[in-house]
Structure 1
């Protein structure tokens, strides 16, 4: 991951809005007094949703709320790429460029963003301040490729089954302040097939449980087992014969070494 740094231009101060304060109170009350630092990520997210990014004064305010050193908040904000460390457009568009989306036409979506918004990168904001965009890795909607995620104050939503024309129309609506319905632009439900020759899952009985038949669970009704013959009573400990002691293993005689032959003594002649 590349080094992430704060924007050079920072506001003089930061304050949570009235709506944000209600959310902050919820998270601060969720943790015990000695665990206030656990709320650091939710508070960073609330600050970002309020202003569109996390400023340095916002980090200092969050550090004070969570009773933790400022550097610890800085470490969290710079580690997680979901936090914007510089101002972004009102609508941040993340175009998935991983293989499934690329094969289904992600390059066409990127071309639309370059034409309408400009150079990719969170900090590159369109002239009207409405948009910025970037290319990201897989967002997990491969079956509805190609797709984008659009983040703004309303939330973070997926827009799937896109074509360049559909994306351009969406940008027109967002620029005009209109609401754009999220999900597949083909209006299909989830990932259901759109070109199947045989209709599937149209009968409600297939998924509402009414067609299901009661079936015994495995091993729920076992056949009665035959009684085992009574085993012979074992002798009590007092009557039991003591176990015979193991005899020590007989020692095998060591092989005798042949005696060394003494040299023959020559007799002297008389």
Structure 2
């Protein structure tokens, strides 16, 4: 470890070296590298993005711009559980806005937020690509479909309870 370098920075640099190996100055590989970093670390801190920029030999503004532009990248940690509501045209027409409002009330958070205790995050996605099942939500990677916002709330809460029990 280089003298004077904080241990977490040293460890981060070593981890990132494996992710960016052979990708230096290749901006076309940036999204792939950012995905790999997020997969490895859970979310993208400003320190992590700065180190990626340095290791890729790209401007930090470019790396941050890409990370903040795409919805798939997270600049803050998610909750232990994650619920995403589809807001695509079919889901919107079939009540996804009402569903989202009910979930916000049930969890006590707004869309894009994580509960203060870190238990759950709530987001939207433009389209999940299964429009015939609209409206939809995804809870911890599992698609949940319901005929009404109330039924959806019941299903999400049941899924949350099932995931919380040992």
Structure-1-length-normalised TM-score: 0.47
The gaps in structure 2 that reach 5 residues or longer are: 1-7
Q: Which residue of 2 aligns with 1:126?
A: 115
Q: Which residue of 1 aligns with 2:12?
A: 15
- Using CA pairs below 8 Å that are at least 6 residues apart, which structure has the higher relative contact order? 2
| CA distance 1:43–1:130, change in 2 (3 Å) | farther
Secondary structure of residue in 2 paired with 1:15: helix
CA contact (8 A) 2:137 2:143 kept: yes
Q: How far 1:90 sits from its partner (Å)?
A: 2.9
**Greater fraction of residues in helix:** 2
1:148 paired with 2:145, answer: no
Q: How far 1:112 sits from its partner (Å)?
A: 4.4
| CA distance 1:66–1:161, change in 2 (3 Å) | same
CA contact (8 A) 1:120 1:135 kept: no
Q: Which residue of 1 aligns with 2:84?
A: 94
Runs of 4 or more off by more than 3 Å in structure 1?
35-38, 102-105
CA distance in 1, matches of 2:51, 2:77: 18
1:68 to 38, 55, 58: 58
The gaps in structure 1 that reach 5 residues or longer are: 1-11, 152-156, 179-270
Q: How far 1:43 sits from its partner (Å)?
A: 2.3
| CA distance 1:97–1:141, change in 2 (3 Å) | same
Q: How far 1:161 sits from its partner (Å)?
A: 2.3
- After TM superposition, the structure 1 = structure 2 runs for residues 1-270 of structure 1, keeping only pairs within 5 Å, are 13=9, 15=12, 24=19, 28-29=21-22, 35-107=25-97, 109-122=99-112, 124-150=113-139, 157-162=141-146, 163-164=151-152, 165-174=154-163, 176=164
Q: How far 1:107 sits from its partner (Å)?
A: 4.6
CA distance in 2, matches of 1:78, 1:97: 20
CA contact (8 A) 2:80 2:119 kept: yes
CA distance in 2, matches of 1:55, 1:104: 37
| CA distance 1:40–1:99, change in 2 (3 Å) | closer
Q: How far 1:87 sits from its partner (Å)?
A: 3.1
| CA distance 1:111–1:75, change in 2 (3 Å) | closer
Secondary structure of residue in 1 paired with 2:138: strand
